[in-house]
Structure 1
């Protein structure tokens, strides 16, 4: 095959442009420390990086949900601790009404009990931000309203879900709240039992069987239920705290993989740039000497 001057020139310029392009590519990488700037730089690494970024975004959302869930449950745990203390105090007052006291003493005990009932309702109306803890999904509505000796629950019995893993949210796995029914029982029976005992004592001549037998039995059952629900909350909190640690570890791993996939080896890139620069300059020098002589050179 006959080799023309144009072919030699084209071949040389093509190689020279490739060398210059390589130099420009390395310079672009050194500018921001990243290997990849477009899919064509490395399709396999680009796809791997996209997957890692999607996983990182998902994990960050789950971490946000975890933070919100743990904060909600921490506040609920504090409220439940307060309710347990109030119910313990109420039970002690009930036991103190042992049938040996004068009427005025029972009236005084009833007044103290009434204050504990009000405090229990205040705890039941606990909020985090502008959301009520025990209103179910009606969390912008104050759950408990007292009207004399009647307490009305205005929330619902639906769970609030904060997913911390892929898949559909389910109340059995992802709920973070306790409803008014969970805490005070159906029809606010815990509060109603407290009110019933208070009403017996406020007369000054209580039915001691209704106070010390029926009343204490109801309080014990209510307290056991409250402790059971509190224990379940504690177990769920532990699960979420463990999941938070696992997600944080996963984020560290994914971030490391993403950096390994995209970050530039700076020392190696500098060496490659210097090498590419030298090759380019040498090519220019050699090209000036080996380019074929043309008719124009003779005309000079």
Structure 2
């Protein structure tokens, strides 16, 4: 009889240990909300979670790259808008200067303003982003791309024709920079032409050659603005797709990794009841053992 009682004790002790472990595990799960805290909790589920996390990290980089593209296109649009305004103002001045009644002193003042517009154009062409990188230098982002030198002044492009390629989705690569060296050099030449003809009082040249050069320069700038607007929309679309995929991966990870809290509470209640029942059984067996001994 004593051997049987000892076996009962050992069996109940094992049950108590298991019940305690079960209650403790569920209490931790209730506290952190995680179903999988270590690979042994669910080996296959752990592999799924790792796969989802890797895919999420890649998709987060896609969204970040799309954001870079959006930012660059917005900055490019701002610069191009400024260039367009410069060309428009120059056309107004040239049109006024081409009128015969306009005095030469007035034309000289217009030429001085044109010179200022030309300097502004070069400044916009050398625009930088918030990190000090030049927007229109190709891949030579630390090199000031446009430099004016000489007399007559010549605008030289010092960047390259490299493209900033951004991976914005599975198999989707987009250009995140804009090359405009030809358009800027043409606009610069048109402005210099306007300045010189105003200074010389060349009314015929102003109304003919100069206005045509400025018109061509304006059209070239606006073509670039259209391209930039289209690219910005494409980047925004790619970013939205990437963000949706990130959200999907977050949900997939949560579905695999997180605990069903309602079920955890139910399981914990049942485990605590089982633990109390096991303790009661242990106490009951102890009482029986004492009685048997006294007998």
1:157 and 1:273, CA in 2 relative to 1: closer, same or farther beyond 3 A? same
| Counterpart secondary structure, 2:136 | coil
1:197 and 2:194 are equivalent in the alignment: yes
**Counterpart Cα distance in 2 of 1:241 and 1:10:** 67
SS of 2:165's partner is coil
Residues 85, 120 of structure 1: alpha-carbon distance in 2 compared, 3 angstrom cutoff: same
What is the aligned counterpart of 2:161 among 148, 157, 173?
157
What does residue 92 of structure 1 align with?
A: 92
> What SS does structure 1 have at the residue aligned with 2:168?
coil
1:113-149 deviation per Cα after TM superposition (whole angstroms, max 9, x unaligned): 1111111111111111211111111112222222242
- What are the superposed Cα offsets for residues 260-284 of structure 1, whole Å, 9 maximum, x if unpaired? 2222223332231221122123224
Shift of 1:67: 2.3
Q: Which has the higher contact order (CA 8 A, sep 6+)?
A: 2
Q: Report the TM-score when normalising by structure 2.
A: 0.84
Q: Distance in 1 between matches of 2:212 and 2:7?
A: 104
Shift of 1:197: 2.6
What CA distance in whole angstroms lies between the structure 2 residues aligned with 1:230 and 1:182?
A: 15
Q: List gaps (5 residues or longer) in structure 2.
A: none
Aligned to 1:58: 58
**Where in structure 2 are the equivalents of 1:64-75 lying within 5 Å?**
64-75=64-75
Choose which of 228, 233, 243 in structure 2 pairs with 1:233: 228
Q: Which position in structure 2 is the counterpart of 1:215?
A: 210
Give the whole-Å Cα distance in 1 for the aligned partners of 2:174 and 2:262.
Answer: 48
CA distance, structure 2, for counterparts of residue 277 and residue 237 of structure 1: 59
**C-alpha contact 1:153 1:180 (8 A) present in aligned 2:** no
- Count residues with an aligned counterpart: 285
Separation (CA, whole Å) in 2 of partners of 1:222 and 1:65: 32
Deviations 1:198-256 (A, max 9, x none): 2222123x262x33222222222222121111101000101111222222233233222
Is 2:116 the partner of 1:115?
A: yes
Aligned equivalents of 1:279, 1:14: Cα separation in 2: 13
SS in 1 for 2:66: helix
User: In 2, Cα distance between the equivalents of 1:60 and 1:182?
Assistant: 36
Alignment partner of 1:252 out of 231, 242, 247: 247
Cα deviation, 1:148-188, whole Å, max 9, x if unaligned, reads 42112222221222321234x8xxx421211242642xxx1
1:145 maps to 147
Report the Cα distance in structure 1 between the residues aligned to 2:28 and 2:194, rounded to whole angstroms.
80
Contact 1:157 1:180 (C-alpha < 8 Å) held by counterparts: no
Would the aligned equivalents of 1:160 and 1:177 in 2 still touch at CA under 8 Å? yes
- Pick from 126, 135, 141 the counterpart of residue 133 of structure 1: 135
Q: Deviations over 1:278-297 (max 9, x none)?
A: 21232243356569x99xx7
Please tell me whether the aligned partners of residues 155 and 180 of structure 1 are also in contact (alpha carbons under 8 angstroms): no
Q: Per the alignment, in what secondary structure is the counterpart of residue 162 of structure 1?
A: strand
C-alpha distance in 1 between matches for 2:114 and 2:54: 56
Is contact 1:136-1:180 (8 Å) kept?
Answer: no
